[in-house]
Amino acid sequence: MFDSETVVNSLYQLLADFLPKVVGVVVLLIVTWTVARWLGNRTTRMVETRLEVTLARFFGSLVRYGIIIMGVLGCLRIFGFETTSFAAVLAAAGLAVGLALQGTLSNFSAGVMLLAFRPFKVGDVVGVAGIRGKVIELSLFTTTFDTPDNRRIIVPNGAIFGSTIENVTFHEVRRVDIEVGTDYGADLDRTRAALMEAARSVEGQDPEREPQVFLKELGDSAIGWSVRVWGPTADYFVLHEATTRAVKKRLDEVGIGIPYPQMDVHVQGNGTA
């Protein structure tokens, strides 16, 4: 026979058992969400003062979602679920996903390292992975370049971090080297003086660095010289052209020739067939 009193007592007992747990879970979720959001934003602001914005947001999200996951596991324990086996399942699933996404995770980790160590930044001109171009965007997975002939190239970060990186515009001042060959018949001291006059006449060079003329080699058909001028990195190509022009013009003025490659052929024998 249906006993209403027993049913009511059972409902009261059920509510007495689960209502505190439900209230506790709701409170825990609210606290977890609040703390996760606050710590995530604080972490982002702290890291942003030392590292790139992209990496700062990543660490902020990592902290936020880590706290939320711990809060959800705490809620499951309140209801009596065994979280140890649940964590093992998550670990196994993470391992499977990691094996399937090895290339992507490699690019991701390389992107984190690039953002952390900052061998270059947006706006720098770098040579890496067989290309040279201006950095347009540095993300967690790829880096975007624009080449001097206006081509857009997107390179995975794994290929960048695992190779030699040449940051062309890292320093504000750069040296311009002009190689030139002169006649063997030209006097060395006179040639050096002419090249130094040409180097000093170049406009726009760094006044704090003295230009240099370096006797480089005795080549097959010419004496090799190197004229070195320092100037702003942004004006490198302008200085390169101006220095080349000054060297050619000054050598012409003093009558020192720039020979073409030539070869002397010696024939042995009496010339008879």
Q: In the chain, where are the structural domains located?
A: 11-100, 119-167, 173-254
Contact between 219 and 263 under an 8 Å Cβ cutoff? The reply is no
Share of the chain above pLDDT 70, in %: 78
C-alpha 58/C-alpha 45 separation (Å) is: 11
Dist CA 141 CA 135 (whole Å): 14
Q: 257 pLDDT exceeds 80?
A: yes
**Unique residue bearing structure tokens 């063997």:** 184
CATH number, domain 173-254: 3.30.70.100
Helix (H, G, I), strand (E, B) or coil at 124: coil
- Could you tell me the fold of the domain covering 119-167? SH3 type barrels. (2.30.30)
Residue 73 pLDDT class (50, 70, 90 cuts) = confident
> Has residue 30 got a pLDDT over 90?
no
Q: What is the pLDDT of residues 120-162, one digit of tens each?
A: 988 999 999 889 999 998 887 889 999 999 999 999 998 998 8
pLDDT tens figures, 39-56: 888 887 887 777 666 667
Annotate 34-66 with b (16+ C-beta within 10 A) or e (fewer): eebeeebeebbeebbeebbebbbbbbbeebbee
Instruction: Count CB-CB contacts under 10 A for residue 93.
Output: 10
Q: Report phi then psi at 173, rounded to 5.
A: -120, 140
Mean of the pLDDT values across residues 193-208? 94
CA 172, CA 249: separation in Å to the nearest integer?
29
For residues 243 and 260, give the distance between their C-alpha atoms in angstroms, rounded to a whole number.
20
Which pLDDT belongs to residue 101?
A: 47
Mean pLDDT of all residues belonging to the chain: 82
pLDDT at 14: 57
Q: What is the pLDDT of residue 69?
A: 81
Q: Residue 137 is encoded by which pair of tokens?
A: 């965007």
The token duo for 53 is 């914005």
> Which tokens hold the place of 151?
């081509």
CB–CB of 199/243 below 8 Å?
yes
Cα atoms found within 13 Å of the Cα of residue 240, Cβ hemisphere only: 10
Q: What is the arithmetic mean of pLDDT over 216-230?
A: 92
**Is residue 263 predicted with pLDDT exceeding 80?**
no
Indicate the pLDDT class of residue 267, thresholds 50, 70 and 90.
Answer: confident
CA angle 246, 252, 256 (to 5 degrees): 115
pLDDT above 50 for 175: yes
Query: What pLDDT was estimated at residue 109?
Result: 83
Q: Look up the CATH architecture of domain 11-100.
A: Orthogonal Bundle (1.10)
